[in-house]
């Protein structure tokens, strides 16, 4: 039966989950209410659901395979024992990787990555427990069948939950000024953030500044608690001046006890938009922000992953190199490769390598930024840039330790010198190794101006603070998506 011939209730549900923009108001409201209920579900509910999915997967696999242990084990393990071990392993791994976090359900990429990480870790843990403690080995065919059922059902359920939760908007109240409210509204619009609904702001006297056209003041600071109840506020952003009022801070703390989230402007931007407001930073931020710099264990792990993945990437993509080289030669007969000085870790320069995508005389003068429709780009170069295949030779730079898979994109020394004079804290992006791709590249368009560089710096500083294996995987997955879309 098609959606057109379905009953109205089913049609509305299909519209809510698959086509939110065209959904009737009542259907959108119903979807939002259901999404809010999903957000309020306790972690124990999701844990129970995952345990049930693992159990169903095991019984489905057992029904197909007909065995639990292989014939080569010292001891045979019972289906109930194996199932219990895998259920416990999945629960532990899910907690470690944050699969039950509310922020996970708001992001499709987080759902995918955390589900895959959880599954990988849970299987290793379960096999270790069964082999070391029970001296047995579970049938690989059984595990593959169980994992297939779990992964498909878990992802379908979580993506379904995401489609409903995506419509749930948090109510945001600004405590400070109409100027701060306007600034937040502009930022949310620019970044396309739909998670928040601005309900207004409070001021000391409950009035807008004289002559202001903004009528979004909803009350005074003294009315804060009653306004939060009346307007069903979920989040409060506090301005710098308001935070210096001890009586107001006492009222805000009482709001914390009621379960409201309270942040300042910079922290709100950081969490909502995934970037750091450069203009709001002071030098001490770099001292106390717990930056991911110089941690020996994480740096060593990142280097090992970079080397292994880049080496494998070279082996897998090597057949493409001959085709790309032939295409470049046939296009204009010029050199296949292009090397250029770039600024890397701690400001040291290195030679970055790419497949040549521009004319041989493209940079006969001073260095200039490339633009999306740059006339210097060759015909083959446009294809290579759109698919990101021109970046493949940088796998050699990663193997040699000059670059990382993920990090800020390296720029030319003269451009870096110029930006250092106009953008505060631009040199600090070189505290970590440059990357083949990065947080700024997947979140912002192709940049060709100082303002573009400012926005990308905000994303680079966010990565400097929050960089981790999970974020790296998210960036790599989204970069792969960009590559696949460009190839189609």
- Looking from the CA of 207 toward its CB, the CA atoms found within 13 Å total 4
CB within 8 Å of 394: residues ≥ 6 apart: 352, 353, 354, 403, 436
Query: In whole angstroms, what is the distance from residue 201 CA to residue 215 CA?
Result: 10
Q: 435-437 and 404-406: which strand pairing?
A: parallel
Residue 45: the pLDDT is: 85
Identify whether the C-beta of residue 278 lies closer than 8 Å to the C-beta of residue 423. yes
Dihedral sign for Cα atoms in the order 479, 482, 487, 488: positive
Query: In whole angstroms, what is the distance from residue 324 CA to residue 335 CA?
Result: 12
Give tens-digit pLDDT for 348-403: 999 999 999 988 876 665 666 666 677 788 899 888 988 889 999 999 999 999 99
Q: 235-238 and 404-406: which strand pairing?
A: unpaired
Give tens-digit pLDDT for 442-460: 888 777 789 999 999 999 9
Predicted TM-score (pTM) of this structure: 0.73
Per-residue pLDDT of the chain (488 residues; tens, 9 = 90+): 444 444 444 344 434 444 444 555 566 556 666 777 777 777 788 888 888 998 888 888 777 766 655 544 434 566 778 888 888 888 888 887 888 877 788 788 889 988 998 898 888 988 888 878 777 777 777 888 888 888 999 999 999 888 888 767 888 999 987 788 888 888 888 777 777 888 999 988 887 765 455 568 898 998 999 999 999 898 999 988 888 889 899 999 999 999 899 998 888 888 888 899 888 788 888 888 888 776 667 788 899 999 999 999 999 999 999 999 999 999 888 899 999 999 999 999 999 999 999 888 766 656 666 666 777 888 998 889 888 899 999 999 999 999 999 999 999 999 999 999 999 999 999 999 999 999 999 888 777 789 999 999 999 999 999 988 888 988 888 887 777 665 55
| Domains defined for the chain, CATH in brackets | 8-22+24-38 (no CATH), 41-165 (no CATH), 170-273 (3.40.50.720), 296-487 (no CATH)
Query: In whole angstroms, what is the distance from residue 199 CA to residue 232 CA?
Result: 9
Q: Which residues of 349-370 are buried (b: 16+ CB within 10 A; e: fewer)?
A: ebebbbbbbbeeebeeeeeeee
Residue 85: the pLDDT is: 87
Q: How many helices (H) and strands (E) does the chain have?
A: 19, 9
Q: 349-355 and 337-343: which strand pairing?
A: antiparallel
What number of other Cβ atoms are within 10 A of residue 22's Cβ? 9
Residues, the chain: 488
Identify whether the C-beta of residue 353 lies closer than 8 Å to the C-beta of residue 394. yes
CA angle 292, 297, 300 (to 5 degrees): 95
Identify whether the C-beta of residue 117 lies closer than 8 Å to the C-beta of residue 92. no
Query: In whole angstroms, what is the distance from residue 445 CA to residue 81 CA?
Result: 52
Mark residue 66 as left, alpha or beta (left: phi above 0; alpha: psi -120 to 50; beta: remaining).
left
Identify whether the C-beta of residue 17 lies closer than 8 Å to the C-beta of residue 164. yes
CA angle 47, 53, 54 (to 5 degrees): 90
Residue 13: the pLDDT is: 40
């Amino acid at each position: 039966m098609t959606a057109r011939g379905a009953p109205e209730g089913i049609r509305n549900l299909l519209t809510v989950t698959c086509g939110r923009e065209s959904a009737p108001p009542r259907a959108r409201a119903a979807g939002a209410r259901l999404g809010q209920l999903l957000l309020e579900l306790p972690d124990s509910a999701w844990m129970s659901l995952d345990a049930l999915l693992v159990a169903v997967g095991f019984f489905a696999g057992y029904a197909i395979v007909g065995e639990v242990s292989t014939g080569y084990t010292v001891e045979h393990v019972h289906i109930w024992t194996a199932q219990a071990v895998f259920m416990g392993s999945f629960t532990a791994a899910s907690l470690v990787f944050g699969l039950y976090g509310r922020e996970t359900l708001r992001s499709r990429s987080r759902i995918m990555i955390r589900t895959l990480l959880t599954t990988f870790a849970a299987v290793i843990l379960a096999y270790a427990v069964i082999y070391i403690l029970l001296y047995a080995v579970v049938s690989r065919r059984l595990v593959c069948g169980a994992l297939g059922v779990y992964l498909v059902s878990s992802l379908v359920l979580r993506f379904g939950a995401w489609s409903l939760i995506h419509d749930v908007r948090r109510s945001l109240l600004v405590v400070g000024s109409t100027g701060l409210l306007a600034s937040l509204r502009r930022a949310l619009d620019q970044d396309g953030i739909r998670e928040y609904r601005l309900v207004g702001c409070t001021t000391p006297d409950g009035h807008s500044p004289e002559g202001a056209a903004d009528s979004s003041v909803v009350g005074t600071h003294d009315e804060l608690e009653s306004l939060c109840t009346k307007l069903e506020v979920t989040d409060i952003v506090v301005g710098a001046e308001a935070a210096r009022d001890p009586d107001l801070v006492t009222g805000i703390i009482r709001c914390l006890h009621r379960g409201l989230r309270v942040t300042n402007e910079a922290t709100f931007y950081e969490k909502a938009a995934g970037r750091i407001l450069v203009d709001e930073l002071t030098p001490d931020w770099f001292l106390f922000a717990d930056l991911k710099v110089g941690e020996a264990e994480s740096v060593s792990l990142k280097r090992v992953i970079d080397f292994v993945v880049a080496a494998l990437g070279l082996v897998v993509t090597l057949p493409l190199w001959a085709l790309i080289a032939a295409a470049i030669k046939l296009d204009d007969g010029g050199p296949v490769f292009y090397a250029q000085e770039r600024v890397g870790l701690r400001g040291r320069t290195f030679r970055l390598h790419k497949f040549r995508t521009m004319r041989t005389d493209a940079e006969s003068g001073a260095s200039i930024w490339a633009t999306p429709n740059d006339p210097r780009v060759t015909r083959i170069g446009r294809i290579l840039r759109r698919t990101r295949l021109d970046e493949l030779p940088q796998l050699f730079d990663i193997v040699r330790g000059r670059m990382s898979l993920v990090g800020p994109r390296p720029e030319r020394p003269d451009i870096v010198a110029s930006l250092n004079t106009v953008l505060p804290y631009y040199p600090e992006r070189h505290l970590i190794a440059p990357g083949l791709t990065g947080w700024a590249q997947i979140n912002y368009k192709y940049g060709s101006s100082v303002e573009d560089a400012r926005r990308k710096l905000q994303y680079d500083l966010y990565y400097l603070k929050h960089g981790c294996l999970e974020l790296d995987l998210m960036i790599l997955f989204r970069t792969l998506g960009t590559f696949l879309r460009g190839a189609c």
